[in-house]
Structure 1
Amino acid sequence: MRQAYIARLQQLDSNTKLKEERALAQKLYDQPAWLNAQVIALTLSQSFELDTAPLILHARHKGQTVVVPRTLPHRQMEFVELTEETHFGESSFGVLEPLDGRVFDKADIDLMVVPGVAFTPAGKRLGFGGGYYDRYLADYAGATVAVALTTQVAQADEWPGETHDITVQQVVSLVD
């Protein structure tokens, strides 16, 4: 199931993807959780994912602090402030991670924009398979939102849920 959704994302027409990304970003910017957040956790997206660069730029332009994930041993992660001085390295998963910077406590992150390959409108999430976000979100008390391209919106019964799965509070999509 995960591979099928990734393949759908990789095959998405670039013009369609760009158009959807712009509409989704505007929809996200209008959400109270985004508007009220001082510290926002975002990922540095891979090429086939929804491009998070505009979201990062928008947040920083508005004076919001952006933090990005860094993986740790035992499938744990932490969030590090993104600044002009941040240095990056490639993780074992082939994604960029901060090598340095201020680590933020969970309690100091107001909004977590949670990545995944598919989401149901009710917030059920199919992640990338490592369990990093489920572990992190298990005791995270802030707001959670996912931003889903049309091809990422799934039906509730498309995959079986697991006991450790953490749903997101809100899914921003173009599907009504």
Structure 2
Amino acid sequence: MTISAANRQNEEAALVDKLTATSAWQTAQVIATTMSQSMELQTKPICQAAWQAKKIVVVPKTFSHRQMKFYQYDQETRFEQTKFGVMEPVNGRLYPADQIDLMIVPGVSFTQQGKRLGFGGGFYDRYLANFHGRTIALAMQCQLAQEDEWERDAFDIDVQMVLTSGGSYD
């Protein structure tokens, strides 16, 4: 399904508004998100909203064995592009999982119940297995799926809440 640039921008803005209205956002001090690529929901507005609210933003850096660590993203952060085209931090303070309050979890598709289809690497599922903070996914209407659209793997980790431009599910 394709979406016009204007509709996409409207949906993304509505999702950021819904996100910042949640109690999980309002009580969080450290928020994890990704450095989005062109086909993903844009995360720059999430970062800007967090900075305006005096929150700390952390973004992932990948390592061998499909591991991730999250580093602070601020005006001092330098990035390099991975072989997959993802921008990752090369400096900044490391934030362990127990210091992250809220994680905005990316994905290709989501169900209303929190089931998530990722990008195939398993990085987030591995990280979320030991993450005890709140998890929220932001899904445009074209990313919503029915519960039976894909097989669930044993290591898949659901998100606690899925926000959509049409509603939220937790």
Does 1:116 find its partner at 2:107?
Answer: yes
| Shift in Å, 1:12 | 2.0
Q: CA RMSD in A?
A: 0.8
Task: Give the Cα separation in 2 of the matches to 1:124 and 1:130.
Answer: 16
SS at match of 2:136: strand
Matches within 5 A, 1:135-150: 135-150=126-141
Matches within 5 A, 1:40-51: 40-51=31-42
Task: Give the Cα separation in 2 of the matches to 1:26 and 1:175.
Answer: 12
> Which ranges of structure 1 fall in alignment gaps of 5 or more residues?
1-7
Amino acid at match of 1:140: F
Task: Give the Cα separation in 2 of the matches to 1:24 and 1:175.
Answer: 9
Q: Could you say which residue in structure 1 is the equivalent of 2:59? A: 68
Q: Could you say which residue in structure 1 is the equivalent of 2:28? A: 37
SS at match of 1:134: helix
Amino acid at match of 2:104: V
Task: Give the Cα separation in 1 of the matches to 2:134 and 2:15.
Answer: 18
Task: Give the Cα separation in 1 of the matches to 2:166 and 2:148.
Answer: 17
The percent of aligned pairs where both chains have the same amino acid is 49
Does 1:93 find its partner at 2:113?
Answer: no
| Shift in Å, 1:93 | 1.3
Task: Give the Cα separation in 2 of the matches to 1:47 and 1:65.
Answer: 24
Structure 1 segments, 4+ long, off by >3 Å, are none
Task: Give the Cα separation in 2 of the matches to 1:148 and 1:32.
Answer: 18
| Shift in Å, 1:174 | 2.3
